[in-house]
Amino acid sequence: MGLLYLGCPMWGLKTWVGNFFPPKTKPKDFLALYSRRLSAVEGNTTFYALPEAATVARWRDETPPGFKFCLKFPQVISHRKRLRQCEAETAEFLNRLEILGDHCGPAFLQLPPTFSGQHLPSLAAYLAQLPKHFQFVVEPRHADFFGGEAERRLDDLLRQQGCARGLFDTTALFNLPPGFSEAVSVAQGKKPKFPKRETRTAPFAFVRFVGQPEVEANTPWLEVWAARVAEWLAAGEEVFFFLHNPDDTHSPGMARLLHQLVNQRLALPPLPNWEMAEASQPKQASLF
């Protein structure tokens, strides 16, 4: 059976203290605690700036065996230079992946919203020069890649290079009416609204699910994903699945819900226990 890596967009929020983390947890302890509750994390911080090598080594050393960091390619590579003439920046990023060692999960290249089918030659040239001992994910953000010839060309390119297509599902988020809440409105304004894809182009899957604020409300959409994840795991494949919600306060609860739904279909190792109930949301305690 394959391995399921579950995680959130980050490893620490102050709103997690007292539910996902014990009361009075200090920020310096967030990573160590997070990595003993979930098995992977999106490293979105590297999109904005690369940390020092010593910082990445500390991340590696603070986390237990089997934990995976899925670092995001810096925006200077993907958005500013658009994959061209960025050899030095790429080498520096790959150095950070090397430092992680066995804690390195798939590195995540998010394409700019303006990166369309006509730019595929740049992507092909860039992927061809990346080292093959890492896992890479490419997430498209342009309408060209959600129907038609450009999508087929992208998927074929990713298969040729052994890269996973990043699967980004915002269906649940956009099922809410505009103005549902301030956090939902902000999230709907930032997240792309494209058809869900389950396309596989590599021997592992990489899914980012953006849900609704209340954990239980995401059940219909996560049920569908749980069935697909169980199929992939049964086939011996690795699955990286990250749970977002509008302000991410309840992302850990969504991760636990997905684990529960997959476990109903395929026996999984148990997640560590943590107290998910908050005084303001007693209904969620019944889920776990």
Q: How many CA atoms lie within 13 A of 190 on its CB side?
A: 11
Residue 43 pLDDT more than 70? yes
Residue 55's SS3 state is helix
CA angle 137, 138, 142 (to 5 degrees): 160
Give the model's pLDDT for residue 280: 32
Write down the H helix ranges in 235-277: 251-263
- How confident is residue 179, by pLDDT bands cut at 50, 70 and 90? confident
Instruction: Put residue 24 in one of left, alpha, beta given phi > 0 → left and psi -120 to 50 → alpha.
Output: left
The C-alpha atoms of residue 130 and residue 204 are separated, in whole angstroms, by 18
Domain count, the chain: 1
CA 63 to chain centroid: 18
Instruction: Put residue 236 in one of left, alpha, beta given phi > 0 → left and psi -120 to 50 → alpha.
Output: left
Give the domain CATH number at 275: 3.20.20.410
Average pLDDT over residues 86-95: 98
- By residue range, what is the domain housing residue 88? 4-287
Give the model's pLDDT for residue 286: 30
Average pLDDT taken over every residue of the chain: 93
What pLDDT digit, counting tens, does each position of 226-280 carry? 999 999 999 999 999 999 999 999 999 999 999 999 999 999 999 988 864 333 3
The per-residue DSSP string of 122-152 comes to HHHHHHHTS-TTS-EEEE--SGGGSSSHHHH
What pLDDT digit, counting tens, does each position of 128-158 carry? 999 999 999 999 999 999 999 999 999 999 9
- Say whether pTM exceeds 0.85: yes
